C-alpha cells in the first residue's frame, strides 16, 4: 500500500465497523489555490467603480474550513446604501431603460461567457469562502450561474413572447438580498432576470460569503455594462434592512431565513414595492417499497449531506415505506460511512465545512435537542479536521411528527427518518409542516408519482431524483417557504409590470 494512504481511525461513535469498509482512505487530492488572487481588502461596487465605504469600516471574511482570514470587505451604512440606490436609479433613467433590448441581451451574454472563462477561479473562491466541497462549486454552482445568465440573455429581446398580449415593462430599481449557501448562484438567479427584464440592481451578498459576488462585480466592470446598472454592496443585516426601507426601490427579492422574510414582508406592506421571498424548507423525501433502492439512497445522500445540508430545498425529512425500512436504513448507514468529510478544496471530499461558527452552533443545538427529545442518533464514524467548522453526517431514527427536529429547519447534514404504510399517511405527514418548498418521491409507478405530486404542498417535487436544477425551470415555495418564482419564464414576471 502506498505510504500516502492512511489508516482510518475506526468509527468514532462506538458503532461496530461495517463489513465492507476497507479501512483505507483516499490520498489527498487538493485543488491548488496558489494562483488565486484575492485582494486583502474590497470596497463597495457602486456606479461601476470600487468606492470606499462612507462608514470607513471593514470586516473580515474567513475560510470556514481553516478559520484563516481571506480578506476584509466594506461595511455599508445607510449613506452607502443610498448612494448605491441612487446609482442604480441614475443608470436606469440614463442608459438602461433607453437601451434596445437586444443590446441589453448582449451584455448579459457577455457576463455568462466571462463566468465560464473564469469558472475555475470562481469555484475555488466559492469553496474557500463558503466551505462547500470543490466538487459542488465546480460542477454545480459555477456552471449553473453561467447558465442562468445565458438563459435570461436570450429573453431580453423577446419579452413580448414571454408575456403574450401584454406590454411588459421593467419595474425600475431592484434590491436583492441573498444568503450564504449558494453565493454566486443566488447572485446569478437574482441579477440575470432583473437585467433581462430591464431593471437595474443593488445586490447585497451575505456577510459570511461576499467574495464571489465581488469577483462578479469585477467581471461586470470588465464586461463594459454601463456604470450603475449593477451595484454590489457588502454588509450585515442592517445593510439589508436599509435597502428594504429605501424609498426609491421598486422591487425586493430576498432569499434567506423565514424569520427575516417575515420582517421584510411587514416592512414592505402598504408600499408600492414588489416582493418575492424564497425562504426556508423542511422537505419530505419519500421512498416507496417499489423504488430502485440504491438510486434512492444516492438521492437521500445528495438531498441532505452534499453541500453540508445548506440547501433550502434539502431533503431533510426522510419517509420510508415500512416494508423496506430496515433495508434502506442499512444501505444508508453503509453509504454515509463512505462519505469523506473534510478539506473542501480536496476533490475527493463529499461533505465540506459548515459555513460559519454560528451555523455550526445552530446545528449542534439541534443534534442535542434530537437526543433530548428521545430520537435515536447515528453519526458516520469518519474523523473531522480539528480546525474549522465541521459536522459529521447525522441520522435520527425513532422520530415522531411532533419532534422539533422533524419540524424546524436545521440547515445542516442532519436527517430525520420516519416510516409510513400508505400513500394517504405519507401525504398527510409530509404536508404537516409550516414549509412547502420541495419534496422528493421515489417509486417505480408513474401513477403513484402523479398522485403524490398533485397532493404534496411543495413548489418543486422531484421524482426518482433530487436537487436537480435548470435555469428553464421555475423554483419557489408555498406557505412559510415564501412566494414568487425564480428561474424560467415565471422568474421574469417578478421583474416586470404588465
Q: Which of 31, 126, 136, 278 is catalytic?
A: 278
Cα–Cα separations (whole angstroms), residue 202 to 267, 348, 431, 491? 18, 37, 36, 18
Q: Which of 75, 312, 408, 480 is catalytic?
A: 312
Rule CB under 6 A: say whether 409 interacts with ligand NAI: yes
Binding mask 137-166 for ligand NAI (x = CB under 6 A): ------------------------------
Annotate 60-86 with DSSP letters as a single string: EEE-TTT--EEEEEE---HHHHHHHHH
- Least Å from the CB of residue 312 to ligand NAI: 3
Rule CB under 6 A: say whether 236 interacts with ligand NAI: yes
Residue 301 and residue 466: Cα distance in Å, rounded? Answer: 9
Rule CB under 6 A: say whether 292 interacts with ligand NAI: no
Query: Which residues, 6 or more positions from 162, have their beta carbon under 8 angstroms from its beta carbon?
Result: 155, 168, 489, 492, 493
Rule CB under 6 A: say whether 476 interacts with ligand NAI: no
| Half-sphere exposure in the Cβ direction for 399 (13 Å, CA) | 28
Cell of 414: 442532519
Rule CB under 6 A: say whether 312 interacts with ligand NAI: yes
Which 170-199 positions form the footprint of ligand NAI (CB under 6 A)?
A: 177-179, 181
Note if 382 is an active site residue. no
Minimal CA–CA distance to 129: which of 52, 46, 214, 200? Answer: 214
Minimal CA–CA distance to 96: which of 179, 168, 199? Answer: 199
Rule CB under 6 A: say whether 255 interacts with ligand NAI: yes
- Least Å from the CB of residue 467 to ligand NAI: 13
Rule CB under 6 A: say whether 45 interacts with ligand NAI: no
Rule CB under 6 A: say whether 253 interacts with ligand NAI: no
With respect to ligand NAI, which residue has the nearer C-beta, 337 or 486? 486
Find out whether 55 and 77 touch, Cβ atoms under 8 Å.
Answer: yes
Count CB atoms within 10 A of the CB of residue 366. Answer: 21
Phi first, then psi, for residue 149 (nearest 5°) are: -65, -40
Rule CB under 6 A: say whether 240 interacts with ligand NAI: yes
With respect to ligand NAI, which residue has the nearer C-beta, 257 or 464? 257
Longest dimension (CA), the chain: 70
Rule CB under 6 A: say whether 256 interacts with ligand NAI: yes
Rule CB under 6 A: say whether 416 interacts with ligand NAI: no
With respect to ligand NAI, which residue has the nearer C-beta, 263 or 497? 263
Rule CB under 6 A: say whether 257 interacts with ligand NAI: yes
Q: Among the residues of 118-156, which ranges form H helices?
A: 119-130, 134-136, 142-155
Note if 312 is an active site residue. yes
Which of these segments, 90-98, 111-119, 125-133, 238-246, binds ligand NAI (CB under 6 A)? 238-246
Binding mask 348-367 for ligand NAI (x = CB under 6 A): -----------x--x-----
197 Ramachandran zone, left/alpha/beta (phi>0; psi -120 to 50):
alpha
- Specify which residues 7 forms β-bridges with: 24
- Least Å from the CB of residue 78 to ligand NAI: 13
DSSP H or E segment with residue 186: helix 183-196
Which 13-32 positions form the footprint of ligand NAI (CB under 6 A)?
A: none
Among 111, 213, 225, 241, binds ligand NAI (CB under 6 A): 241
CA angle 215, 219, 221 (to 5 degrees): 110
Cell of 465: 431524483
Minimal CA–CA distance to 221: which of 351, 47, 410? Answer: 47
Residue nearest ligand NAI, CB atom distance: 240
Rule CB under 6 A: say whether 206 interacts with ligand NAI: yes
Catalytic residues: 278, 312
Interacting residue ranges for ligand NAI, rule: CB under 6 A: 177-179, 181, 204, 206-207, 236-237, 240-241, 244, 255-257, 260, 263-264, 279-280, 312, 359, 362, 409, 411
Amino acid at each position: 500500500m502506498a505510504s500516502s494512504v492512511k489508516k482510518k481511525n475506526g468509527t468514532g461513535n462506538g458503532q461496530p465497523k461495517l463489513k465492507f469498509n476497507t479501512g483505507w482512505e483516499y490520498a489527498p487530492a487538493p485543488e491548488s489555490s496558489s494562483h488565486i488572487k484575492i485582494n486583502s481588502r474590497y470596497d463597495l461596487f457602486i456606479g461601476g467603480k470600487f468606492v470606499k465605504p462612507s462608514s470607513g469600516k471593514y470586516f473580515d471574511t474567513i475560510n470556514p474550513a481553516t478559520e484563516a482570514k481571506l480578506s476584509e470587505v466594506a461595511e455599508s451604512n445607510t449613506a452607502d446604501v443610498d448612494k448605491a440606490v441612487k446609482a442604480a436609479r441614475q443608470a436606469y433613467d440614463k442608459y438602461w431603460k433607453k437601451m434596445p433590448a437586444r443590446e441589453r441581451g448582449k451584455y448579459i451574454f457577455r457576463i455568462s461567457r466571462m463566468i465560464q472563462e473564469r469558472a475555475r477561479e470562481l469555484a475555488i473562491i466559492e469553496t474557500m469562502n463558503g466551505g462547500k466541497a470543490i466538487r459542488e462549486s465546480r460542477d454545480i454552482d459555477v456552471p449553473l450561474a453561467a447558465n442562468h445568465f445565458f438563459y435570461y440573455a436570450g429573453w431580453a429581446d423577446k419579452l413580448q413572447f414571454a408575456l403574450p398580449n401584454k406590454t411588459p415593462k421593467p419595474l425600475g430599481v431592484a434590491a436583492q438580498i441573498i444568503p450564504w449557501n449558494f453565493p454566486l448562484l443566488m447572485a446569478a438567479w437574482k441579477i440575470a432576470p432583473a437585467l433581462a427584464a430591464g431593471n437595474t440592481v443593488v445586490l447585497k451578498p451575505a456577510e459570511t460569503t461576499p467574495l464571489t459576488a465581488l469577483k462578479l462585480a469585477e467581471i461586470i466592470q470588465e464586461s463594459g455594462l454601463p456604470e450603475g446598472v449593477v451595484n454590489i454592496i457588502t454588509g450585515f443585516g442592517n445593510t439589508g434592512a436599509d435597502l428594504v426601507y429605501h424609498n426609491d426601490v421598486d422591487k425586493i427579492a430576498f432569499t434567506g431565513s423565514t424569520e427575516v422574510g417575515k420582517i421584510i414582508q411587514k416592512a414592505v406592506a402598504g408600499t408600492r414595492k414588489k416582493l418575492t421571498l424564497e425562504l426556508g424548507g423542511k422537505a419530505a423525501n419519500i421512498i416507496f417499497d417499489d423504488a430502485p433502492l440504491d438510486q434512492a439512497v444516492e438521492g437521500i445522500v445528495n438531498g441532505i449531506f452534499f453541500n453540508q445540508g445548506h440547501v433550502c430545498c434539502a431533503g431533510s425529512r426522510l419517509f420510508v415505506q415500512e416494508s423496506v425500512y430496515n433495508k434502506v436504513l442499512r444501505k444508508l448507514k453503509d453509504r454515509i460511512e463512505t462519505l469523506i468529510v473534510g478539506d473542501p478544496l480536496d476533490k475527493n471530499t463529499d461533505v465540506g465545512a459548515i459555513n460559519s461558527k454560528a451555523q455550526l452552533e445552530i446545528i449542534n443545538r439541534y443534534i442535542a435537542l434530537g437526543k433530548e427529545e428521545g430520537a435515536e442518533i447515528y453519526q458516520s464514524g469518519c474523523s473531522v479536521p480539528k480546525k474549522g467548522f465541521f459536522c459529521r453526517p447525522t441520522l435520527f431514527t425513532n422520530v415522531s411528527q411532533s419532534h422539533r427536529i422533524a419540524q424546524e429547519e436545521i440547515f445542516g447534514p442532519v436527517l430525520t427518518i420516519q416510516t409510513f404504510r400508505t400513500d394517504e399517511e405519507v401525504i398527510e405527514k409530509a404536508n404537516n409542516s409550516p414549509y412547502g418548498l420541495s419534496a422528493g418521491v421515489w417509486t417505480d409507478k408513474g401513477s403513484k408519482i402523479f398522485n403524490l405530486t398533485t397532493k404534496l404542498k411543495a413548489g418543486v417535487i422531484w421524482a426518482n431524483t433530487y436537487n436537480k436544477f435548470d435555469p428553464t425551470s421555475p423554483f419557489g415555495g408555498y406557505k412559510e417557504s415564501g412566494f414568487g418564482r425564480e428561474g424560467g419564464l415565471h422568474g421574469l414576471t417578478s421583474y416586470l409590470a404588465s
